[in-house]
Every structure is written in C-alpha cells, then in structure tokens.
Amino acid sequence: MTLLLESLFNGAAIGSVLLIAALGLAIVFGLMGVINLAHGELMMLGAYTTYVVQSFFKLPLLEPLFGGYIFVAVVVAFLVSGLVGLLLERSVIRRLYGRPLETLLATWGVSLILQQFVRTVPLAWSTGLWLAAMVALAGPLVGNRLWGLRQRPWLLRLGSWVVAAAVGVAAAGWIRGAMPKLARASARNVDVTAPRWLRGGLDLGDWTLPIPRLVIIGLTILAVVAVYWFLNRSLWGLRIRAVTQNRTMSDCLGIPTQTVDALTFGVGSGLAGVAGVAVSLLGSVGPNVGGDYIVGCFMVVVLGGVGNLWGAVVASAGIGVLTDVIGAGRLLEVWPQMPARLQQGVEFFATTSMARVLVFALIVLVLQVRPAGLFPQRGRMAEV
C-alpha cells in the first residue's frame, strides 16, 4: 500500500514538473500550431530569474523577507520569459505562421542565441536590459495618460527610450556593485538557495515527502487552474479560442488577431518562466538546463494530443508514474520472486535514462493505436 502511494507520489512529482514545463508549450502548439524549440531556454531564463531574485533578497534590506522570495520569483519569472516570448513573437514567429517546420528551426536558432547570451552576458547587465525593456514598453502607456504627450508621439517615444536606457544602465551598474556574484558572466552552473521552509521533508509516519516536490505539485495545480480559467472564462481567452477556430472570421468581428497571437505566445512563454522557478528548486541552474526538460515536454504534447489541456495533464501524469515505476524498478519490489530473466530485464531498465528509453517505446506503441494522441482534436482543421 505504501508502495503504491509512494509510486503515485513520485509519479505525481515527476509528472508535475513535466506538466508545468509542457503547459506553455502545449498552449502555444495547440492554439497557434507553433512548436517553440526555445521553450526550454525560456525556462532557463525563469530559473536564472529565480537566482537573481534570490540574490536581491539576500541584500540586507530585504533579508527578513527571504522566506517569501519564491513568490516574487514566480511573478518576475513570468514577466521575464513572457516579455522575451513577446519580443520573439513580434520579431520572428510572426513572419512564419503557416510554416511550422520553419518556425521549429527559427526557434532553435533563438534557443542557441539565448544560451550563448547567458554564457557571455553578466546577469547584472541582463537584468538591466530587461528593466530597460520593461520601461520602454510601459513608457508610452504611462506617458499617454500622465503628461498629455499624446500630441508629440516622437517625443514620447524618444523620452521613454532615453529613460529606459538610463534605468537599465543605472540598474546594471548598481547591481554590479551590490551583488558581485552577478557581475561576471560564466558558463558554470549556479545554485539557488531555497528558503528554510522549503528544505527538508514532511514526515508522515515512516515516510517523508520532500517539500520542494510538494511545492512544485502545488504550483503546477495552480498554473493549470489559472490557465483553464484564463482560456475558458476570461474575455481574452474567448478571443484566443475564437482566433484558433477561425482567424479570418475573428478578424472580421474586430478581434485584434495580432494582439491575440502576441498574447498567446507571451502567456505560453511566461508559463515557461514559472516552470523555470520550479526547476531551479530541483537542481543547479545552467545554460543547458532547458535542454534537459524540453524533450519530456514534447512527449507530453505528442501523447496528450494537441489543443487539449486534459490531454497534457493525463499524459504527464501517465509518463510521470511510468517513469517512476520503471526507473525505480518497482516491479521487483512488488514481485520479488519473479523469474531471473525477467528480473534482469527489469533491472536493465531501472535507471532514469533507461526508463526514458522504455517510456518512449511505449509512447510510440500508443501512437500506433491513437495516432493523434490520447485526446485528438476533431474537425476539418485537424486532418489536412
């Protein structure tokens, strides 16, 4: 019984990381037909953001609040990755709608650039850059309201760029001084210090639940609920779904389809950032951290089927439990006297990487029966 529970919990833990990582990917793929190979790197940005936020909270001023930095990190990571995603959509993806294979390659190019970016640019400067971009974006909005600059748009634009640049440089300079660790770029991994309440485990009799895992499961549930609410209950969610079903018609109805595209991609990317926070709790953070998770995300999307939140949930739960059952050789514990040959087989696959091998084989088998995933999309669009 405990065995079953343990397996379920571990499966849920693995699955929740998969799910939170895959959520953004699945949304963007399902709604826009775009596979974003830079998704892993957006996660990486989220993880680095956690590191930066945590460094801020180590400053004397914020030290007392250190326990709560994780919540700030979730929000900031969402904004960081979301903003990068937004820029990505505006500059590259937009030109490539309807050409999914090209999008795939372009986003891969972006992922290379992002990886190399964090290797070569100090975090202090990256933070400054991001702040500058936020100011530059927000400037016109604020300026329009406050100073009646509406009549002279060029001045407004110029002004916000200048202010943005100043803010960026000042922030970067200050961070360099205040947090020497962020001043130099390095390809080496960094470690996020978890607040005390996040360390250790929850004792349940003879069995402890690691708290970070619990937190990630909670975060994932939160993210899924939020996404569900956003897509199905909010006005913009309605618009997004409308555009997915019939772009031309939505255009005619006055839905700003371009904004919808940008928003969808931005939200998907932002979720990658949140996933990055989760990932940073599990291990050290480096430029390659995204690559470790991205293929798992693909498996979830392929297995779950496109355009269905539940597909992603079920698929990641299934993959999670299976990975644990195979990877930890649970079959041996349940059935110790199994024949020697079988036992050899089970032991052969009882590592994380071999479990992945078997899970992939199983997925290919499932696809033989259900080619469009567990929850396929129907309709004229779906076939082609």
Ligand X SMILES: Nc1ncnc2c1ncn2[C@@H]1O[C@H](COP(=O)(O)OP(=O)(O)OP(=O)(O)O)[C@@H](O)[C@H]1O
Contact residues: ligand X, CB under 6 A: 379-380
Which CB sits closer to another protein, 36 or 160?
36
Cα(267)–Cα(227) distance, integer angstroms: 9
Distances in whole angstroms, Cα of residue 300 to Cα of each of 26, 201, 218, 374, 375 = 8, 28, 19, 10, 12
- In whole angstroms, the minimum distance from the beta carbon of 82 to another protein comes to 21
Instruction: Choose the contact partner of 63 out of ligand X, another protein, none; CB within 5 to 8 A by kind.
Output: none
Which CB sits closer to another protein, 62 or 358?
358
- Write 153-160 long-range contacts (CB < 8 A, 24+): 160/135, 160/136
Single out the segment in contact with another protein by CB under 8 A; choices: 110-118, 137-145, 175-183, 334-342. Answer: 110-118
Candidates 212, 276, 356, 374; binder of another protein (CB under 8 A) is 356
Does position 379 bind another protein by CB under 8 A? yes
Residue type, 355: A
Cα(384)–Cα(12) distance, integer angstroms: 36
Does position 92 bind another protein by CB under 8 A? yes
| Residue with the CB atom nearest ligand X in the bound state | 380
User: Interaction with another protein in 295-354: which residues (CB under 8 A)?
Assistant: 295, 298-299, 301-302, 351, 353-354
User: Does residue 310 sit in helix, strand or coil?
Assistant: helix
Single out the segment in contact with another protein by CB under 8 A; choices: 154-162, 278-286, 294-302, 310-318. Answer: 294-302
Cα(153)–Cα(318) distance, integer angstroms: 54
Nearest CA-CA partner of 202 in 217, 192, 188: 217
Candidates 49, 54, 55, 111; binder of another protein (CB under 8 A) is 111
Which CB sits closer to ligand X, 3 or 249?
249
Which CB sits closer to another protein, 173 or 291?
291
Residue type, 89: E
Instruction: Choose the contact partner of 246 out of ligand X, another protein, none; CB within 5 to 8 A by kind.
Output: none
Count CB atoms within 10 A of the CB of residue 351.
14
The residue with tokens 């596979």 is 35
Single out the segment in contact with another protein by CB under 8 A; choices: 61-69, 145-153, 275-283, 293-301. Answer: 293-301
Instruction: Choose the contact partner of 368 out of ligand X, another protein, none; CB within 5 to 8 A by kind.
Output: another protein
- In whole angstroms, the minimum distance from the beta carbon of 47 to ligand X comes to 42
User: Interaction with another protein in 32-91: which residues (CB under 8 A)?
Assistant: 33, 35
Concatenating the DSSP letter of every residue in 197-264 gives: GGSSEEEETTEEEEHHHHHHHHHHHHHHHHHHHHHHHSHHHHHHHHHHH-HHHHHHTT--HHHHHHHH
Which CB sits closer to ligand X, 59 or 382?
382
Bridge-based pairing state of the strands 201-204 and 207-210: antiparallel
User: Does residue 106 sit in helix, strand or coil?
Assistant: helix
Q: Which tokens belong to 217?
A: 């499961």
- In whole angstroms, the minimum distance from the beta carbon of 323 to another protein comes to 12
Q: Please count the CA atoms within 13 angstroms of the CA of 300 that sit on its side-chain side.
A: 36
Which CB sits closer to ligand X, 362 or 372?
372
Does position 101 bind another protein by CB under 8 A? yes
Residue type, 121: V
- Which residues form the interface with another protein (CB under 8 A)? 29, 33, 35, 92, 95-96, 100-106, 108-113, 115-116, 119-120, 291, 295, 298-299, 301-302, 351, 353-354, 356-357, 360-361, 363-364, 367-368, 371, 378-379, 383-384
